[in-house]
Structure 1
Amino acid sequence: MKVLIVYYSMYGHIYRLAEEAAEGVRSVANAEAIIRRVPETLSEGILEKMGATEAQKQQSHIPICTVKELSEADAIIFGTPTRFGNMCGQMRQFLDSTGKLWMEGSLVGKVGSVITSSSTQHGGQESTILTFHVTLLHHGMIIAGLPYTFQGQMMMEEISGCSPYGASTIAGGDGSRFPSKNELSGARYQGAYVAEIAKKLIT
């Protein structure tokens, strides 16, 4: 059983959540986690001016996802940073190239799930995941979030991402805050949860 984790991460926050989600997938018997990046749409010059060069280098070993890989997976976890309450442009462009899969119904019945990040505590994490779900529903996917059986959602001791819609992290205004232990645990739980659902659907 293959669970594909497809993400975009400019500064590395979503990359960390994606890695943790993959660990969650691998904790399920006979589940394989495959991590892929979506293509970059910004030039190297722009990325350098945005201070993203080093983070991009750290992810350079992750292969670029192809549309075909989506149809070959049993479940897909998507990761995107928040851009004004929506998915980032890189992810939007990649999804806009999946028209052939939609025509063929290639993703119908597969589990789809989303993880995200934002700069601020109320920076649109929930709206980003919920609006992302619209695209997955058009593809006929079965939506999986992050249920309250993940006890970290009830945490009151610190500021933390994660909601019933999916795991998330808060990067801070300058991007210096990386996923906390609780946020990483949420992503790992979500990865296992998606794999378990996919496993039930294909057996």
Structure 2
Amino acid sequence: DLTLEVDFPETRKSVKLFRDSRKEGTRHNSSMATKVYIVYYSMYGHVEKLAQEIRKGAASVEGVEAKLWQVPETLQEDVLSKMSAPPKSDAPIITPNELAEADGFVFGFPTRFGMMAAQFKAFLDATGGLWRTQQLAGKPAGIFYSTGSQGGGQETTALTAITQLVHHGMIFVPIGYTFGAGMFEMEKVKGGSPYGAGTFAGDGSRQPTELEMEQAFHQGKYIAAISKKLKGPAAAP
């Protein structure tokens, strides 16, 4: 783990992205947990159900502290009412600066025309300060999503979201085919892909299936394990 410094012309400051653990290893608190933040936007609850299962999966990894966060809503209450959106859950609302506290992330959102919902994009647009200081660089992040139909953007939503991670220098962690046989289900409709866990909302009445929830749990556990490894000595229980 060598030190890498990047000079930003705007600030003329060097930002240390990686610490040399060989020199600073004695400063680590061995009891410090690896923090994984599951940050999501959910209008009708489908993404939130996946988020809850992802949190359970992440929390199942020893030495990992998993926490759910919502991004701020941008629509007015009267608009949400007309859209028959249910009340928000009691998951705390995250601020951009709080992202810097985490060691790993799983970001979730419904699709809008093949891309992430505007609410989540607005939140990421407010992370310029973190980009300027490169506080998210080198941190792992996964993506999960909900679409209205099978051709509604299960893969394009993830693909277009990766650009946000790239500009922050984050490490995209897809689940690939690590979910095993569940990735090859052909008898039933199943959301998700090698990019991340997913579900289909349909007209709103369809809820995440047992297999989709299992995939979400797997994603949380998988990314938590990788986050712990990347954190290194500080993550040791």
TM-score range, shorter chain: over 0.9
Aligned to 1:171: 201
> Could you tell me whether the CA contact under 8 Å between 2:105 and 2:140 is conserved in 1?
yes
Matches within 5 A, 1:66-105: 66-105=95-134
TM-score computed with the length of structure 2 as normaliser: 0.82
Residue 157, structure 1, aligned to residue 187, structure 2: yes
Residue 110, structure 1, aligned to residue 143, structure 2: no
Question: Structure 1 residue 125: deviation in Å?
Answer: 1.5
Aligned to 2:82: 49
Within 2, Cα distance between the matches of 1:120 and 1:105? 37
Partner SS, residue 64 of structure 1: coil
Percent same amino acid at aligned positions?
52
Residue 23, structure 1, aligned to residue 56, structure 2: yes
Partner SS, residue 155 of structure 2: helix
Q: Structure 1 stretches (4+) deviating beyond 4 angstroms?
A: none
CA-to-aligned-CA distance 1:58-98 (integer Å, 9 cap, x gap): x1x11100112111100011010000000001001000000
Within 2, Cα distance between the matches of 1:41 and 1:78? 18
Unaligned runs of 5+ in 1: none
Q: How many residues are treated as equivalent by the alignment? A: 198
Residue 37, structure 1, aligned to residue 66, structure 2: no
Q: CA RMSD in A?
A: 0.8
> Could you tell me whether the CA contact under 8 Å between 1:146 and 1:186 is conserved in 2?
no
**Which of residues 190, 193, 218 in structure 2 aligns to 1:189?**
218
Structure ID, larger Rg: 2
> Could you tell me whether the CA contact under 8 Å between 2:41 and 2:119 is conserved in 1?
yes
Question: Structure 1 residue 19: deviation in Å?
Answer: 0.2
Within 2, Cα distance between the matches of 1:147 and 1:87? 20
Residue 129, structure 1, aligned to residue 129, structure 2: no
Within 2, Cα distance between the matches of 1:165 and 1:147? 6
Aligned letter for 1:112? A
Question: Structure 1 residue 107: deviation in Å?
Answer: 0.3
Within 2, Cα distance between the matches of 1:166 and 1:133? 12
